[in-house]
Amino acid sequence: PTEDDSAFLLGKLEGVEDSRRIGHSVSLGGIDGDVVAFVGVGAVGLSRFDAGTGKWSSIETINSLEGNIPETAKVSLSTEMDRLALAYNGKLEVHEYSASSVEWIRRLVLNDGLVQSTTNHTALSMSGDGMFVAFLQPDLGLQMIDVKTWTRYPVATTPNVAILQVEVSLNGRIMAVLTDNGVELKVPDPSEFWVDLVAPITDVKRATAIALSGNGETLAITSRTHTMLYSLNAGDDETSTFTIAQGGIELSIDYDGHLLAIGRSNDMLNADQTFTTVALYRRSTWDQPPSFEYGFLEDIQLGDTSGASLSLLTTKNTVENSTKIAIGAPLDGRKQQGSVRLYQVQHVSIQ
């Protein structure tokens, strides 16, 4: 790394005692990554960070249908508008922020919406533009909702295989699905029925997490032993891959696939679903066109606390070679009220 490359803490939002451990699920949004939505046991909230003052806004509570949100809930925040999706207890909710009434309004509720997997991954993802939501529905399987029309389209997946995670690109035109059998890449056919883009990817055994870049051109898959990246650029004659000899529990990748974040533990083979370090990797631009290679950038150490979720900004940042990452740590604090940390990451690509 050069002297200009670094990850530094912008601000730390701490939960109050009655917020019950914020940070179980975090989702970073806003045009420049200045909005963070998060799950705490019992509630879902959102706060806005003012870089000028270095302060967080008061926590905006999302008016969920149920008042007791479990820690296994997942929130997904769009990056280009104030819209978010929330999944918990078999329900899917879509909320929008009303500037006129200065509040979040519930626009959609599906009471038969989501199933929780045995690994506590709730299968939910909202596209960065806020126009599509992918979710897992009992009996019907994986579905894609067009938010403009509230129309549901089926997503064909391998029968009798558990779905652990789903990720959708910025414009909702490509989807990655993590299952017990590998990773399936989906695109819509002319009738909007979602079908396989390629055969399921089974290179990474017992994968723990996936991440799909906002532009839909880079896929990352991690396990407890290593991480693999795949170039999905349609202009490539063959699918390029790159292996990082480091595994993780959580993954996130930025809009153009130039920055990868791996949440890992010091003892990955015996780790639970939390991490103590976020390892940052950046893509090389040595060749023209750039080769599909990644180099280590920096470790973000979380100290005595453990992280449970992380989120890189998935829209194209207005500042080149600079982005933000949010890290949720639900057991942080003397009373374990939880926290969300927001970091600025400078990452001039490897030359």
Surface-to-core class of residue 85, CB atoms within 10 Å of its CB (0-12 exposed, 13-18 middle, 19+ buried): buried
Per-residue confidence (pLDDT) for residue 285, from 0 to 100: 67
Which range of 63-67, 187-191, 325-329, 343-347 scores highest in mean pLDDT? It is 325-329
Is the predicted pLDDT of residue 82 greater than 80, yes or no?
A: yes
For the ranges 71-80, 158-167, 225-234, 236-245, which has the lowest average pLDDT? 236-245
For the ranges 68-82, 114-128, 214-228, 293-307, which has the lowest average pLDDT? 114-128
Model confidence band, residue 319 (pLDDT cutoffs 50, 70, 90)? low
Which range of 1-5, 70-74, 143-147, 236-240 scores highest in mean pLDDT? It is 143-147
pTM, two decimals, is 0.91
Torsion sign (Cα): 40, 79, 167, 85 = positive
Question: pLDDT per residue over 205-258, tens digit each?
Answer: 899 999 999 999 999 999 999 999 999 975 555 568 999 999 999 999 999 999
Distance linking the first and last C-alpha atoms of the chain? 10
> 305 vs 243, which has greater pLDDT?
243
Per-residue confidence (pLDDT) for residue 40, from 0 to 100: 80
- Contacts with 272 (C-beta within 8 Å, 6 or more apart), sequence order: none
Q: Report which residue type is found at 102.
A: V
Tokens linked to 167:
């990720």
Question: pLDDT per residue over 8-45, tens digit each?
Answer: 999 999 887 655 678 889 999 887 888 999 998 777 88
Distance CA 102, CA 97 (A): 7
Is the predicted pLDDT of residue 111 greater than 90, yes or no?
A: no
Span 118-132, average pLDDT? 77
70: cis peptide before it, omega within 30°?
no
Per-residue confidence (pLDDT) for residue 52, from 0 to 100: 87
Q: How many helices (H) and strands (E) does the chain have?
A: 0, 29
Q: Kindly report the number of other CB atoms within 10 A of residue 12's CB atom.
A: 14
Is the predicted pLDDT of residue 4 greater than 70, yes or no?
A: no
Per-residue confidence (pLDDT) for residue 3, from 0 to 100: 43
CA proximity to 125, closest of 89, 85, 73: 85
Span 170-184, average pLDDT? 93
Is the predicted pLDDT of residue 139 greater than 70, yes or no?
A: no
CB 307 within 8 A of CB 284: no
Torsion sign (Cα): 24, 63, 163, 138 = positive
CA proximity to 176, closest of 124, 227, 130, 212: 212
Starting at the edge strand found earlier in the chain, the sheet holding 182-188 runs 163-168, 175-179, 182-188, 194-196
Residue with tokens 């909320």: 95
257 alpha-carbon distance from chain centroid: 13
Per-residue confidence (pLDDT) for residue 115, from 0 to 100: 47
Distance CA 176, CA 196 (A): 10
Per-residue confidence (pLDDT) for residue 241, from 0 to 100: 92
Tell me phi and psi for residue 40, to 5 degrees: -120, 160
Span 143-161, average pLDDT? 89
Q: Report which residue type is found at 254.
A: D
253: three-class secondary structure by DSSP: strand
Tokens linked to 128:
């960065």
Burial code of 160-179, b = ≥16 C-beta within 10 A, e = fewer?
eebbbbbbbbbebebbbbbb
> 267 vs 196, which has greater pLDDT?
196
Model confidence band, residue 2 (pLDDT cutoffs 50, 70, 90)? very low
Is the predicted pLDDT of residue 116 greater than 70, yes or no?
A: no
Mean pLDDT score of the chain? 85
Which range of 56-60, 148-152, 334-338, 339-343 scores highest in mean pLDDT? It is 339-343
Tokens linked to 240:
């390029």
Span 145-161, average pLDDT? 89
